[in-house]
A = this chain, B = another copy of it.
Amino acid sequence: MVQLLNSRSNAENRIQRRAEGRRQEILRAAARVFRRRGFDAAGMREIAEEADLSPGNLYHYFKGKQEILYYCQDRALDTMLATLEQAATGETVSLRLTQVLTAHVRCILDDMEGAAAHLVVDAFPLELRRPIVAKRDRYETGVRKLVEEGEQSGEFSVQEPVIITRAILGALNWTAQWFDPDGRKNPGEVAEIIAAYLVRGLRGETRT
């Protein structure tokens, strides 16, 4: 009896794991297509081909195209939020913010879902859009808090943290548009260069 339950339970777990693995594959494939084409021009047939299955099969795993993007973005934002938490304990705010910004760029350039994280979801139904926008806002708020902490600790001199934070995030997110994997710099290098520049701009004036 206990064995029977275990047997069924193991089978369900295996089946779920297989389906979940398949879902991850699809998300990765979709993220590549979204990155290449943007959301609207990314076709389900192209995603299916990228994931090596048939178009109709996608619907066994996801309800539709918007849900696929939703999960891509959800994953990427989770990764970014985790970076924020890990950076909670650092020696200086500069250091912590640099870590966060570096990780952000790496997420975008290294992780497939990363580049899809900030695609526009305005036209999505509310139940998909709301949690994504909320997560984005949470992340942005976290970054802004760091900027403000640096202002309070005297490391930074910032008068408009909201706007500056968005400029920072813009610089980071835009890397998806121009980064060339075959270029002379790898994602990590690009990430560090940009993060250092952005953090430097937060420091006090150097009028000479």
With a cutoff of 8 Å between Cβ atoms, the chain B residues found around residue A38 in the complex are: 38, 40, 120
With a cutoff of 8 Å between Cβ atoms, the chain B residues found around residue A208 in the complex are: 204
A169 touches B174 (CB 8 A): yes
A190 touches B170 (CB 8 A): no
With a cutoff of 8 Å between Cβ atoms, the chain B residues found around residue A197 in the complex are: 164, 167, 201-202
Interface residue? A177 (CB, 8 A): yes
A57 CB, min distance to chain B CBs, angstroms: 24
With a cutoff of 8 Å between Cβ atoms, the chain B residues found around residue A190 in the complex are: 163
Question: Which of A167, A193, A204, A206 has the most B CB atoms < 10 Å from its CB?
Answer: A167
A67 CB, min distance to chain B CBs, angstroms: 18
With a cutoff of 8 Å between Cβ atoms, the chain B residues found around residue A168 in the complex are: 171
Q: How far is the CA of A37 from the CA of B40 in the complex (A)?
A: 10
With a cutoff of 8 Å between Cβ atoms, the chain B residues found around residue A200 in the complex are: 201, 203, 205-206
Task: Fill in one digit per residue for A177-200: 1 if any B CB lies within 8 Å of its CB, else 0.
Answer: 110000001000010011001101
Question: Which of A171, A194, A204, A208 has the most B CB atoms < 10 Å from its CB?
Answer: A171
Interface residue? A112 (CB, 8 A): no
B198 touches A201 (CB 8 A): yes
B177 touches A164 (CB 8 A): no
> Which residue of B163, B175, B177 is within 8 Å of A193 (Cβ)?
B163
Supposing A163-B190, A185-B163, A200-B201 touch, asked if A123 and B173 sit within 8 A by C-beta, the answer is: no
A160 touches B193 (CB 8 A): yes
Interface residue? A166 (CB, 8 A): yes
Closest 10 CB pairs of A and B: A170-B174, A201-B201, A40-B40, A171-B171, A167-B171, A170-B171, A40-B41, A203-B206, A167-B194, A200-B201
A residues adjacent to B (C-beta < 8 A): 37-38, 40-41, 118, 120, 123, 159-160, 163-164, 166-175, 177-178, 185, 190, 193-194, 197-198, 200-206, 208
Given contacts A166-B174, A167-B174, A167-B194, 5 further A-B contacts (CB under 8 A): A40-B41, A168-B171, A170-B171, A198-B201, A203-B206
